Structure 1
Amino acid sequence: MSQSTPFTLFVDEGWRREEIFHNSFLMKGIEHDEALDFCVKNSDNNGLPPIAVGPNEGKYLQLQAKAIGAKRILELGTLGGYSTIWLARALPDDGELITCEFSPKHAEVASQNIEHAGLSSKVKVLVGPAAEALAKMDSAQKFDFVFMDADKAGYPAYLDYCKTLVRKGGVIIMDNMVFGGRVSDPEVKDNKNIDGLRKTLEDLGNSSEFEATTLQTVGARSWDGFTFVLRV
């Protein structure tokens, strides 16, 4: 979903045209969203990589969170807080979003953007390795929704923590699971990101605690995909 794939891909003009066409109907007003615009500009001005989800993907995450009535959301990989803002807007007044970011600089910029969007009361940014943050969380306080868009090598460990941190019926969206076709390519070897994604698929396939399916995506920026996971 995001363009956080470290490789260049051919983007068919038809993919781009179709995305723009659909967005013209379904994303009306997004160009006038001051908080999101500030988030993008402030992230760019601070040198953050342009790898956040697109607005259509942000809205998809928001709608998924709304659809299940999420009150507690976990995000792994904050970057500049663009997806964080989309997700936090899905929460009720008493909702909470915890987002984990490894880079102190990214976390600082994200906090600025979240504050500017008026969402600081709902969002807590944790700085440091996601696995360490997850290990310290109270398993009695379950999450309803998880968006995973961090270090792909860490996905298997993050998924394992979700067994205790996510409620039954909760949803996990794992981004960049197709990686431009690299995941299925036998020629791609000794790549920690790809190895992590392959292990994640293996773990999901053998799990009695999750049901999952992967959807490939193409659009204005890349060929990728996400895995939709249900905690059963």
Structure 2
Amino acid sequence: MKIEEYIHSLFTKDDRILDDVLESIHANSMRNISVPPEIGKLLTLLVKISGAKAILEIGALGGYSGICLVRGLGEKGQLTSLELMDEYAELAHKNLKKAGFGDRVTYYTGEALKSLEQLEAEQKKFDFIFIDADKPNYPNYLDWALRLANPGALIVADNVLQRGRVCEEPIDDPRIEFIRAFNERVANDPNLESIILPIGDGLSIARVKQ
């Protein structure tokens, strides 16, 4: 048994709500690029530990990670989710409603960078920011996360190891270079305390210093 399989067997159980989300993604001919169950559980745990009340999610897809994030919130916590595609946001909201969280989430659709500008104009601040969207914009999303984060906020990003390709010699794939730049910034930014966990496809966790 591989390490990933061992972790999965111990800490992830049957979850009809999340299984329904995956089924809806397949039924709508969307790519199944949701976070794996162990990452979903870790997101819930991190939100609980952080005590976050306001979460920003960059990349909604079908609502899988959104459900995991809201599960960690207290009764009055809210999720703001950014999604490029209107139909994806509609499916995500439908799935969050089925999970009982429909009134806990607000969606902004369109290019995430424009939505982030709108959030700043609305003077929104967040205690927890989860990045799981187009990889070339990861460095830009980190810049925005720092602008929108409350002191002590967590900034979490998925897919930061790219199946180990970030560790290889230079390769002809601009996406890898953007992720490397993101990882180096997270590691060296004086405003952050951070680490990468080799779980799933790599999860970066950073805390904004107070």
With normalisation by structure 1, the TM-score equals 0.83
Alignment partner of 1:181 out of 164, 174, 181: 164
- For residues 22 and 78 of structure 1, the distance between their equivalents in structure 2, rounded to whole angstroms, comes to 27
- For residues 133 and 90 of structure 2, the distance between their equivalents in structure 1, rounded to whole angstroms, comes to 17
For this pair of structures, how many residues does the alignment match? 208
Q: Quick one: structure 1 residues 22 and 34, their matched pair in 2 at CA, closer, same or farther if it must change by over 3 Å?
A: closer
Identify the residue that residue 147 of structure 2 maps to in structure 1.
164
Which residue identity lines up with residue 134 of structure 1 in the other structure? L
1:1-51 CA deviation, whole Å, 9 max, x = no partner?
xxxxxxxxxxxx42354134313xxx4xx42x4432321211111111111
- For residues 184 and 170 of structure 2, the distance between their equivalents in structure 1, rounded to whole angstroms, comes to 18
Identify the residue that residue 147 of structure 1 maps to in structure 2.
130
Name the structure where helix makes up a greater proportion of residues.
Answer: 2
If asked which structure has higher relative contact order (CA below 8 Å, sep 6+), I would say 1
Which residue identity lines up with residue 63 of structure 2 in the other structure? G
* Equivalent residues of 2:52, 2:73 under 8 A apart: yes
- For residues 108 and 86 of structure 1, the distance between their equivalents in structure 2, rounded to whole angstroms, comes to 18
- For residues 129 and 112 of structure 2, the distance between their equivalents in structure 1, rounded to whole angstroms, comes to 13
Unaligned runs of 5+ in 1: 1-12, 219-223
1:55-97 CA deviation, whole Å, 9 max, x = no partner?
2211110010011111000111111000101111222222110
With normalisation by structure 2, the TM-score equals 0.91
Which residue identity lines up with residue 82 of structure 1 in the other structure? Y
Give the superposition deviation at 1:186: 1.8
Q: CA RMSD in A?
A: 1.8
Show the 5 A alignment for 1:91-110.
91-110=73-92
Give the superposition deviation at 1:174: 0.9
Unaligned runs of 5+ in 2: none
Percent identical among aligned pairs is 34
Alignment partner of 2:95 out of 113, 119, 124: 113
Query: Does 1:45 pair with 2:27?
Result: yes
